[in-house]
Structure 1
Amino acid sequence: MRGRWQGGNRFTLLPEGKRFLPELFAAIESAQRTLYLELYLMESGTLATRMVDALCAAAHRGVTVRVLLDGYGSMKLSHADRQRLRDAGVALRFFNPLSWHRLGGNLSRDHRKLLVVDDRLAFTGGFGAVDAFVDAWYEVAVRIEGPVVADWIGLFAQLWESPLTRGRAARCRWPEPAPIAALPDDMRGRMISGRGHRYQAIRLSLHQRIATAERRLWLCTPYFMPTFSLRRRLVRAARLGVDVRLLLPGSRHDHPGIRYAGQRFYARLLRAGVRIYEFQPTFIHAKFVLADDWTSIGSCNFDHWSLQWNLEANQEVEDVRFARDVAALFERNFAASEEIHWAQWRRRPWMQRCREWVFGTLNGWMTRLR
C-alpha cells in the first residue's frame, strides 16, 4: 500500500525513548474515541505492564481500543497480560500465529509499529513494548498529524481484517474516516508500506531516492544486511560525489553475528568513498534515511528479511525543516560513533576476517533458503 503525497501535515521528530515514550503515553491517556496499536515486539515486563495499564484505562473510559500484535513477536506477552486486555474490553488480535501446518508461511511477520489516536494523530518508528526500549536501545519515532493519518488508519484496518489475523476479537465495520483538516505547517508526506516479496514499495522508493540524490545520502539501520542492488546503488552514488554515510551499530549489538555478516561489505563501500560510522553509546535500533531533503522513518531495516518477508511501513517526508532536524540528529549520532576508515579496515586482524566469512556464509545460505 502506497499513500499519495499530501501537504498540510505536521511531522515531529522524536529521538530516543526518553522523548517518544512520554509522548506515546500522553497520547493514549488523552484518547477520547479510538486507539489503534500495532506492534511487532511486546513482551511482559515493566514497559508492557505500563502499556497494558494505559490501554485498559482507555477502554474503561469508553474508548474503542484495538491492539494488533505479531504472532511471533508477542510470544513473550504473558497470558495474564493478554487476559487483562480482553477483560477490560480491548479488542486483541494476532497476525500470523506460528503453525506447524505451514512452515514456510511462518516467515511472514508484521514488523510494523503504529499508534493512532482519535483518527487525528499517529506515531510510527521502530519502537516496541519491551523494556530494552526504555534505556538500553537507541530508537527514533515520528509524530504524525494531518491528512496523511487517514492512510495509516487504512493500513491498520486492512491488516485487522486480513485472513492471516487471528483472535477472539471479531472483525468489524470500518466507517469512512472524516476528512482531516490540513495544518498550517504544510509539510508534505506520505505513508508507504511493504509486504515482502509481494510488494516492495519501500525498496523501490529508496532506490529511486538514491538514484536522484545530489548532495547527501545518510542511512541508519540496525541490521546491515543490504541487498546487492542496494550496495551497488550506494557505491554508484558515492562515486558520483554524493555524501554517502552509514550509521550502524557498534559492538553493543543484540545479534553480533548479523553485525559480522554485514561487515564483510565494508571494504568495497569504503573504497568507493562511503563513510561508515559505528554507534558507540548503546545498540542503535533506529531505522531512518535522509536523501537531500527527503526522509523515511519507520519499521523497515532495509535488509533482506525486511524487504523479502516482513510487513513494513514508513513515513516519508519531503520538507526542508524536517530534513534539517533529521540531519542534526544524524550529526549528533556521528559524533558519538567511531568512523571506520579504509586504511584502518584493511589491516583488521585475521579473527575479524574469519568472523565475517563464517557469519556471511551462514547468512548467504539463509538468504537462498528464504
Structure 2
Amino acid sequence: MARELLKGNEAIAEAAIRAGLQAYFGYPITPQTELLEWMSKRMPELGRAFVQAESELAAINMVYGAACTGARVMTSSSSPGISLMMEGISYIIGTEVPAVLVDVMRGGPGLGNIAPAQSDYNQIVHGGGHGDYHLIVLAPASVQEAVDLTVLAFDLAEKYRTVAVVLLDGSLGQMMEPAELPPMRPVKTVYPEWAATGMMGKREKNILTSIYLNPPDEEQTNLRLLRRWQEVEANEIRFKEYFMDDARYVVVGFGSAGRVALSAVRAARAEGIPVGLLRPITLSPFPYAHIRKLAERVEGFLVVEMNAGQMLEDVRLAVSGQKPVEFYGRLGGVMPFPDEILAEIQRIASGGLTLEGHPRERWLQRMNGKN
C-alpha cells in the first residue's frame, strides 16, 4: 500500500479502526483530541459504536462494560485524564477482559500544559491503579510505529486478556509523517467462550467480575494474572538498537526522547565516540535481561527522558550497579535538543562516569548550574 502523510493522532485512530475496533468511548483532552474527532466521524460511517462520554471516568467504565462482551474496544486520553481512569483500569484487569488504551502524554503534574512530556511513565508502566497487576505498554517513536503498535496492542490485549497501552507524547500525536496504514480487517463475529454475549439460554451464564470476597479466591486470581504476565515477559519484549556492535557507551531512551537521542548518537559517532542507542519499545515488559547483558561489556549508560528520571530507575535496576548510569532529562513539556544530549555523551566519554551518588542528584546539580 502507498504511504500517506498522516498526523499521529489520526493515524492511530484509523489504525485502530482497521484493526477491527468495534466500540470507542472517550472524552476530549489536548493533545489527543484529534483522535477522538477522527473516531466521531469514521466509526458511525462504518456502523460501529462511538460515544463521547461525559467524563474520563464514564469513558473507562463504558470500555469496561463493552470489553466484557469480547468486542474490540478502546479509549484514549492524556495525562490527567488517564489518572482519572486508573480505578477503571484496575477493574478491567481484575476481570481479565481485553481493552486498548492510548495515552498521549502532556506536561504535569496537575493540569499542567499541552506540551509533550513523558511524565506518565510511572503511572502506566508501574500501574497507577490498586492491586497487583501489569499493563502491556508499547512506546512508538514515529507515526509509522504508532500505527503498527496500535494494531499490535489489540492482538496482545486479546491474547493475554489484559489492557494494552500505546504510550506516546504530544509531539508524536501532533506531528505529521509519511506512514502506511494496514489493510482493513473485518470486525469479529465469533466471540470467546468467556464473553458475556447474551446466549439466550444456549449455554451457562458467564459471570465476569473483579470481586473475590474470599481471600484465597482473590489470591488465586492474582496468581493467575502473574502466571499470565510471566508469559508476556517470556514472549513479548521488544526494543531497537542502533550502533551497538562496538559501543562502549549506551544511551537509553524511549519514544520522542529516544528519537532525539538517535540524532545525538549519530553526531557523536561522527566525532569518533563509540556510543550506541537502545530504544525500548515495550516499556512493560521492560528489557531488563538485555540491559543486564549489555552492562557486562560496556563502560556506562546515559538515560535520556522527558521527565525527572522515571525509566531511569528501571535501567538502574537492570544494570544492578555493574556499571555507572548517568541521566539527562527535560521537564514540564520541554523537549531536549540533540546538541544537549551530544554534550552529555561527550561528557561521559571524557571521564564523566561515576558510581558515586544517585544519577538524578548529579543531573540536578548540573541543571542548577545552568538555571
TM-score normalised by structure 2 residue count = 0.30
TM-score normalised by structure 1 residue count = 0.30
Please state which structure has a larger fraction of its residues in strand: 1
Q: Which has the higher contact order (CA 8 A, sep 6+)?
A: 1
